[in-house]
Structure 1
Amino acid sequence: MPLRIQSMNSKKLLNDLFQAYYDARRNKRNTISALKFEVDYEKKLFELYEEIRNGNYQPGESVCFISFYPVQREVFAADFRDRIVHHLIYNYISPLFERQFTPHLLGRRNTFSPKRANGSNGKYCPKGAGFINDAYSCREGKGTSYGIKRIDHFIRSCSRNYKKDCYILKLDIKGYFMSMDRFILYDKIEKTLPKISGGDVDFDIGLILYLIRKVIFHDPTKHCRVKGKKSDWQGLPASKSLFCAKPNQGLPIGNLTSQLFGNVYLNDFDHFIKYNLRIKYYGRYVDDMVLVHQDKEYLRFIIPKLKKYLRENIDLELHPNKVYLQHFSKGVNFLGVIIKPYRVYIRNRIKGNFYKKIKAWNNYLKEKENKLSKEEARKFLSCVNSYLGLMKHYKTRKIRRKMLAKNLSVYFWNYFYIAENYSKLVLRG
């Protein structure tokens, strides 16, 4: 039975689907699945449009593999056709969560109060609100560099430019993506979308909820092509594999929607921390959370509150070995850097991974008799510039210069040149 497209006409849906296609191919244009789709892409988009309109859309086969950088993890890469649907969903609902920021209810007073922590002194946790400013992942204008700057700012502000004592509570959720309950996630989205939209949208929420259901409740482990060796999975904890997840739990790492839904799943928790527990200095990237406060005992006091909220509301638990509470002078490990007073360091793991990547590319170039195709050159450029892009924000010029000038094979300079003071490589024309 065809879906009833109420708030949007068919032409708008088709136009939005084309825009989602352009967004999906932006960084995937040279992949095999993207190139296959690009052949007669207009016809394929019309077919996808008809499937969506008639309620016949079904997600396709994913490719499952293990990525070892920066850490070992299991990735499910959706078919390019499904990536278009993911971008369509993202383009519709992400702006709704972005435009509904909750008013800043925190005053100057930020002291220990068990009564306040129990939430008995007022309603500070507005369910159905949009994302807080300091949720950094998968959001335009934010990301890792923004998150690092914000946490650095929090520490400086809370310590009055390092003159007063303050403390940092660092938390991590155990097996986050593999532990998300799909029913809880969908229920959150279904209840929140009408609230944050206020009826002021130019698309049919029912249609988008239909697509969201298809994506959330699709189990990629039932229909996937495994790439790599079985030995690649050795050493990967069961809590980090969809193949070991409980029924109706877990989202595939690698999908745009998984990143977006990851923010939605913890959104009420973010508001609980900010407005029930009144933690002014709080930031989160995926499931890595940092809380900064002048009172060490208050931070210690709220840890059980956080555990209880996660367990009772969204069926998650804090990683027992990744709860750190320490003075700001000792620094905090966040998003690949160590944030300390007056300085930010790149972690040795980042430098080590960069070196391993360069070494692997040197060996690859040697096997190819020092010749690269255009696609291989673009892959190399993307890989190296991702590291340089992170490192350039910190005092790493000597490290970057050494990596490029001393460790990189000289044959790469036939294809690239260094620009902006060792902060990026550029493909020769």
Structure 2
Amino acid sequence: MFDQLTSFQNLHQAYRDARKAKRYRPAILRFGCMLEKELPILRDALRNGTYVHGTYRTFIVSDSKKRIIQAAPFRDRVVHHAVCNVIEPLFERTFIHDSYACRKDKGTHAAVKRLRSFMQSCGGGGSRVFCLKCDISKYFDSIDHGILLGLLKKGLRKETKVEPSQTKVQPWSLLNLCEQIIRSVPSGVPIGNLTSQLFANIYLNELDQYVKRVLKERYYIRYMDDFLILSTDAEHLYKQRECIRAFLRDRLKLVLHPKKSSIFPIMPNGIDFLGYRVFTHHVELRRSTVQRWKRKFKNLPADLRSDAIRDWKGYTKHAKSWKTVQGLRILK
């Protein structure tokens, strides 16, 4: 598997993926101009164990909230893509159906559609439906390196059917490379890394399996660190929340956000989820979402507005309400 990761074919594909939408940035142009030299050097460094992860560039992005982004050097981003190309298919088949973040053929729109389906079927004959909606406090910053490495080791051993003695951390091993990426920061995982998205899903797959297999919850959806459960019994949800709180604390060293973990009836106000307000038979855009897009569009240069319009229309076509029409006026 490590030979597959360090093959020219995989590294070249990783280079192409890493440069998407950014190919004219100076660092990427420099790497591309020297590609026939850079890829063999990178391959040799990976194979002989001399590869060392570079230093991150840190900056703040202010959108719906301020986020600290850590951007790795382009050479390291190529490695991140190469790693994901190899291990993502192995872990993908272990994920539950209703985990929707950073996965092929999933995403926000699929999650919202699934939630509407759950809202319609959970009530059945018209019973009152309640929602347990949770968020994990500082999720990416709180991921424990030791626990994550243990999950990676267990998953790689199981999916590749390798003997336990062959999965010890050694130079030139895939697990060793994953460890170097993980430990390239003092704690947590950097939001800007492609590997962080996959690692974050692997980490919370433990919660997914617990909720589905142990708690036996049918109406459960997770999008990264936001998740919810539907039930016709509010008291049942209070009990399940405490079970989940204990599991996160004891098994994953995570904490539920104290202000973003609540239980409420889904009617008449619907469920605020992934930038939409979701009702049983329709979806509305959140007012704050419309305002955020207005600010984004107002500050864009004229030559970038056509792309923004296309993104906006793709986002709003899934919401059928007067708020969508109001929001579209910013594009006129």
| Alignment TM-score > 0.5, same fold | yes
Counterpart for residue 217 of structure 2: 279
How many angstroms apart in 1 are the aligned matches of 2:56 and 2:251?
31
Counterpart for residue 109 of structure 2: 145
Give the deviation of 1:11 after TM superposition: 9.9
Equivalent position amino acid for 1:187 in 2: G
Counterpart for residue 208 of structure 1: 174
1:155 maps to which of 119, 123, 136: 119
Which is greater in Rg?
A: 1
Counterpart for residue 402 of structure 1: 329
How many angstroms apart in 2 are the aligned matches of 1:181 and 1:324?
25
Contact 1:169 1:299 in 2 (8 A): yes
1:15 maps to which of 9, 12, 20: 9
1:389 maps to which of 311, 314, 332: 314
Contact 1:388 1:400 in 2 (8 A): no
2:161 maps to which of 174, 180, 198: 198
Contact 1:17 1:84 in 2 (8 A): yes
How many angstroms apart in 1 are the aligned matches of 2:96 and 2:21?
28
Counterpart for residue 186 of structure 1: 149
Equivalent position amino acid for 1:145 in 2: H
Q: Residues 60, 380 of structure 1: CA spacing in aligned structure 2 closer, same or farther, 3 A cutoff?
A: farther
Deviations 1:268-294 (A, max 9, x none): 111100110010111111100011112
How many angstroms apart in 2 are the aligned matches of 1:394 and 1:166?
22
Mapping 1:12-411, distance limit 5 Å: 13-99=7-93, 130-160=94-124, 163-199=126-162, 207-219=173-185, 248-329=186-267, 330-361=269-300, 364-365=301-302, 377=303, 379-395=304-320, 398-399=325-326, 401-405=328-332
Equivalent position amino acid for 1:333 in 2: D
Q: Which runs of 5+ in 1 are unaligned?
A: 1-6, 100-129, 220-247, 366-376, 406-429
**Aligned residues between the structures:** 323
Contact 1:173 1:318 in 2 (8 A): yes
Equivalent position amino acid for 1:42 in 2: E
Equivalent position amino acid for 1:169 in 2: L
* Root-mean-square deviation over aligned CA pairs: 2.2
Per the alignment, in what secondary structure is the counterpart of residue 266 of structure 1?
A: helix
How many angstroms apart in 2 are the aligned matches of 1:159 and 1:131?
27
Per the alignment, in what secondary structure is the counterpart of residue 7 of structure 2?
A: helix
How many angstroms apart in 2 are the aligned matches of 1:344 and 1:144?
13
- Select the structure that is richer in helix: 2
Q: Residues 12, 260 of structure 1: CA spacing in aligned structure 2 closer, same or farther, 3 A cutoff?
A: closer
Q: TM-score, normalised by structure 2?
A: 0.91
How many angstroms apart in 2 are the aligned matches of 1:306 and 1:327?
20
Give the deviation of 1:9 after TM superposition: 4.8
How many angstroms apart in 1 are the aligned matches of 2:231 and 2:79?
42
Q: Which runs of 5+ in 2 are unaligned?
A: none
Contact 1:346 1:394 in 2 (8 A): yes
How many angstroms apart in 1 are the aligned matches of 2:233 and 2:226?
21
Contact 1:282 1:291 in 2 (8 A): yes
Give the deviation of 1:16 after TM superposition: 1.2
Q: Residues 277, 381 of structure 1: CA spacing in aligned structure 2 closer, same or farther, 3 A cutoff?
A: same
Equivalent position amino acid for 2:250 in 1: E
Deviations 1:198-233 (A, max 9, x none): 35xxxx9972212101100112xxxxxxxxxxxxxx
How many angstroms apart in 1 are the aligned matches of 2:61 and 2:307?
16
Give the deviation of 1:71 after TM superposition: 2.2
Per the alignment, in what secondary structure is the counterpart of residue 353 of structure 1?
A: helix
Q: TM-score, normalised by structure 1?
A: 0.71
Per the alignment, in what secondary structure is the counterpart of residue 278 of structure 2?
A: strand
Equivalent position amino acid for 1:316 in 2: L
Give the deviation of 1:381 after TM superposition: 4.4
How many angstroms apart in 2 are the aligned matches of 1:20 and 1:154?
37
Give the deviation of 1:30 after TM superposition: 2.7
Deviations 1:352-379 (A, max 9, x none): 0111112112xx55xxxxxxxxxxx4x5
Equivalent position amino acid for 2:183 in 1: F
Equivalent position amino acid for 2:148 in 1: L
Contact 1:182 1:216 in 2 (8 A): yes
Q: Percent identity?
A: 36
How many angstroms apart in 2 are the aligned matches of 1:359 and 1:267?
39
Deviations 1:296-348 (A, max 9, x none): 11111111111111111111110111112111213111100011121111111
Q: Residues 191, 353 of structure 1: CA spacing in aligned structure 2 closer, same or farther, 3 A cutoff?
A: same
